[in-house]
Amino acid sequence: MTRIYNAGAAWPHRRCHLEADVNKSEHRAASSSCGQFTVRYPRYDKDLKSVVHSDPKMLGGAPVFVGTRLPLETLLQLLNAGESIEKFLEDYTSAKRSQVLAVIEILGLKMDSGKVRRTARLKSLLKRHISAVVAGELQELVLDARIEDGVLCVISPSFDRLEVPLAKIPAFRNKDASKIQAFKIDEDGSFNFWPKLNVHLGWIQLLQLVDPNAAIEASQRASEFNRCYGIAVKRVREQAGLKPPASAVSGW
């Protein structure tokens, strides 16, 4: 089931339309400033997961085109190698043309003569995707991100979409809009980075801003980690014959 996280009724859902034959005039542009690249994106209405999804029971959870066992990575690798869309569809008949074009559109890639331009952006997307698959962290890393109508939209390697109103990010309050627009994505997708504001925000941190339950769960995990860590340290000190530190509280 698709997960699209947003901040509630006060912020209308911005979903993604991934039909290749959609009327281009209906698209509202959004922008993403990633390093030296400023990419223009179309506006979508349909579910990202109608194109690519991740199933733990299939290929170890690697994102694949819906209705196939064809990994998204295969497409990105071949596009980066300079293969044409027609050649890809000829070699991998299980993929639909609309799915391939949808991926190209949603990731903001540009085409020339039936081929995707081999840019640093494409290489970065491929690297982040591979890093996520290898690490097995498809839902907690950043594949791509952009700002749409005052909302930071982040896409994970598993094509989950996270939406965070800029107004909900404390570090952005009373900050110049140009500085907010100028962000980068970490090379392995661990976080988004705003160099002019010295702000780093990963998927989990952003999720906590719009999902109170996620914030509670994160706090509970942190408390449990600290408890287990304290027990482990206590055991090591006892085995080493060391006395508890003077600052130890009851329960040590």
pLDDT digits (tens, 9 = 90+) for 159-179: 888 889 999 999 999 999 999
Structure tokens at 180: 């907010």
Mean predicted confidence (pLDDT) in 182-206: 92
Helix, strand, coil fractions of the chain, as percent rounded to 5? 40, 20, 45
pLDDT for residue 78: 92
Q: Which of 49-58, 133-142, 194-203, 235-244 has the lowest mean pLDDT?
A: 235-244
Mean predicted confidence (pLDDT) in 179-195: 93
pLDDT for residue 6: 38
Between 133 and 240, name the one with better pLDDT. Answer: 133
- pLDDT of 1 higher than 50: no
Quote the longest CA-to-CA distance of the chain: 74
pLDDT for residue 35: 36
145 bridge partner residues: 154
CA-based end-to-end distance of the chain? 44
C-alpha angle 3-186-77 in degrees, rounded to nearest 5: 75
